[in-house]
Structure 1
Amino acid sequence: MTDTPRFFTQADPIRFEGRDSKNPLAFRWYDKDRLVLGKTMEEQLRFAVAYWHSLAWPGGDPFGGETFLRPWMHGSDEMAMARHKAEVGFEMFRILDVPYFCFHDRDVAPEGATLAESNRNLDVIADLFAERMASEKVRLLWGTANLFSNRRFMAGGATNPDPEVFIYAAGQVKHALETTHKLNGQNYVLWGGREGYETLLNTDLAREIEQYGRFLTLVVEHKHKIGYKGAILIEPKPQEPTKHQYDFDVATVYGFLKRFGLENEVQVNIEDNHATLSGHTYEHEIATALAYGIFGSLDVNRGDRQSGWDTDQFPNDPTSMALGFFHLFQAGGFKTGGCNFDAKIRRQSLDPDDLLIGHVGGMDVCARALLMAEDMIEDGVLPGIIKDRYAGWDSAEGRAILKGERSLDDLAALVARDGINPSPRSGRQEYLENLVNRYL
């Protein structure tokens, strides 16, 4: 890569200075080498920078254009700008000292006149990535294909009424998956930004769901064909930009995977803001994915409680994050996934260092939440209360019921024989909420 003027004000990696630090470019809680639940913070949280919001978003919104005026977004040589963007990206990864990054294919390289040209452009930048990754710490957490920006995808990719769009999308995903494999990405994500409908007046719902299932099956088949060992993830999202999306939430995705026999092949990448838009909490979506055995990775961001829009803001509430982390790390934590900052600075945050500051704050929030979750787990009180509440199901009779060894006649006979007339026990919700606040 060629030398370019420094984009950020500092070149040295950001360091941990402790909770009393006033330095906005220092970590107060994230001490990457600190042991938490048997691993270092860095190993537990597996932070990743999102290439799209950090480097490809110009600061526009539905009512106004770009505000950031990034130097790699203006010029006649698109590939030269893509190289410049990659240089700044790896500079940012190094300064933040993150172990991972993530990208969409169209974030990193311009779209060409044909799919073949687009693929060649991606190959050039992927080679640059491989060159830099050979001498840098950062690795690829996941890659994905952008099947939502180009007008050809206005009615979806996999669920499009035109089979030629389905075919084009399949070709694009094939190359993005192979690129992720080439770069040793630990996951490949399918984010169906427009895999849904605007109105049922022009939609064959059953047909589109079948198309979606077939598309995902093709991706899984190709994963095995090329020997890719990473996880395939779906990112649930309820709406925006479509009125309704087929991957509405974790439970919906699980039902979809079961229908097509993919529940052991595909996991979920859960986003906090998407959980909010679906009417759930982050904690709920994480716990549901773990219960169904399809948890994969996290996008850590937040929405605005006053806005029904996917605002993708950096996290700033360790309490809500800690509740989700309690379930995640009690179950053993991440395997191939991590904490990806699918978050963007506000369009009025014009200084380049604002990008760093946003990530520093988000990383500190996650680190503080991890320490809270550690206290909740290691104290053992809350896990013990939950275990005690369901202790009856660990009895011989409880196990027999769940194994299918008792009929309704059998259970009714038990009531008559033993005079069973149970008294309810308190759920102790207020006590538990107060207990949690002690850790926070």
Structure 2
Amino acid sequence: MFARNMNTTQNHPVYGNFATQNVKTQSWVVNGNKSLSYVQNNITSEGDAIGFNSDTLVLGQSFNYNPDFQWGRPAINGIRLDTVPKKLRQDAGGSKYIDFDAEFDRLNASSANIANYSKNNVPAVNNYYGLVTFDASNIPAKDNVKYMLVKDSDMPTMNGRLNVTGVAADQKTVITVDTTGVNDVSTTNLQFVNGTQDKSILFNYYNETGQSSFTGNVNWGTTNGNIGAILAPQATITLASTAFKGNIIAKNFINTYMGEQPGNYPDVPVPTGDKPITQPQLISVPDVDFGSHKLGIQNSIIGDWQGNFALEGQKGQAININVAVTQPFTDVNGRIADQLNLQLLQSNYQSGNLVTTSQEMNSSSAKINYWIWQDNGQGNLLVDWQYNKEHNQNIFYAMQMSNLQTVKNTGSYTAKMRWTLTDSP
């Protein structure tokens, strides 16, 4: 078990081994019974004691270990240690046995790479009265692994059964579950059938539309033995399965109950390079026309977008665009209207009501957020914004000029802006 936070307060310990930054447990729960385990930052207990039975337990540098605390028992941070690991080690000199930030960065990237590679590998899905079959016959294997993508709605529901076909006996299976639009996923009382329980199956939970790690909840419960793994580095996983024997990677891990079956999930290669993520790039940027105005009449005006605002990238990719003023408003005679201000206005209907906020552009960059939704990876921002404005939905942007009354000389004034993608060079 690998998690930033681990909770074993439901009277059931974590068997095998684990690594976590923080663990919350209670008396009589003895966590770990083999190999090496690691707790980096904090241990709390709902009782007056804790227990660890790993072959080796590594503690972070901040822990205080007292070898003779109470009744001949040692303590960690003043909590009595009733069951003592065979060996005890501790970080020292500023070192960390595991750099969790670096590891989770790597795991998030691995989850994204797996999902990106799998996005076109969709198995034939058949649901026959709760028996769901994923037929991977037409999915090519890479490095003896079949990578596939299914929707969360494709997965069996409560008391359902899962059958994976089209995978050779010596091949591994990686199933990316697309969690787009859902926050809670469940495999309550899931059964593996027809030998599927003997396959090396990795379940990767990922938000395909948002191109981001799943941040919701996974409730995992199976009723028969399977060797597998769950990769959900930004999610909360609650395990309720005496049959599970494998690996779990999560932001938060909650152990409701688990069995003691031996087993481990072998490493699988993370595919890279075959289907690279398209780096976003700007194709064209618009001008803004504020029209003609009489001196001293108006103090602010909203401009009209002119031209095209187009870019390309990966479908579903979130793109950040910065815009800043690089040359202030200047007329043909070189006179500068240096008190004119430009603001980027964001209008947002996502809450159901119109909310408008502004960002100054004169002294710093303003940011535009955009998601590519078209299959061809092309985005036309002005067209999308006009649609959103007309239908009172989502986000659209405009530019506003203010302090017009500070301009004393007539003439044609222009300014220059720089548009920059923050997601790529």
Same fold (TM over 0.5): no
Q: Which structure: larger Rg?
A: 2
Q: If the TM-score is normalised by the length of the shorter chain, which range does it land in?
A: under 0.3
Which structure: greater helix fraction? 1
| TM-score using structure 2 length | 0.26
Which structure: greater strand fraction? 2
| TM-score using structure 1 length | 0.25
Greater RCO (CA < 8 Å, at least 6 residues apart): 1
